[in-house]
Amino acid sequence: MKLLLRWLLNAIGLWVATVIIPGVAASGWQALVVAALLLGLVNALVRPVLVLLTLPITLVTLGLFLVVINACMLLLVAWLVPGFAIDGLLWAGVLAALWMSLFGLSTQWAVKG
């Protein structure tokens, strides 16, 4: 049940990102649901490897490079999911990553664990 709620919250966060961030677009709710699912998988499998590989850069930038990693994860999802797109290369991705981080922090109380 918690996994389903996290998935739904990620889809809602991505939908809000398409509304408030220029350059982020989705063709419909199906694309948002698939993108949210894939984002969860990418964050669970690929992101930890990238964080480990870029640890020196992350330490030098006092953690700010993690925003770039999150943006890259969103760009990867946009590349893989038809109907979900992030234009403007990295900047729209960075804004979307910041939004998803803030949205995730604000909804974290809804799903504990």
pLDDT digits (tens, 9 = 90+) for 13-51: 999 999 999 999 999 999 999 999 999 999 999 999 999
Question: What pLDDT does 48 receive?
Answer: 94
Closest CA to 38 of 80, 95, 91: 80
Does residue 113 lie in a domain region?
A: no
Residue 103 lies in domain: 8-108
Does residue 45 lie in a domain region?
A: yes
Neighbouring C-beta atoms of residue 60, cutoff 10 Å:
10
pTM of the entire structure? 0.88
- Record the tokens describing residue 110, joined without a space: 């809804």
Does residue 50 lie in a domain region?
A: yes
Does residue 94 lie in a domain region?
A: yes
Does residue 55 lie in a domain region?
A: yes
Q: How many domains does the chain have?
A: 1
Does residue 33 lie in a domain region?
A: yes
Does residue 2 lie in a domain region?
A: no
- Provide the pLDDT confidence category of residue 113 given band limits of 50, 70 and 90: low
pLDDT digit string (tens) for 42-94? 999 999 999 999 999 999 999 999 999 999 999 999 999 999 999 876 788 89
Does residue 12 lie in a domain region?
A: yes
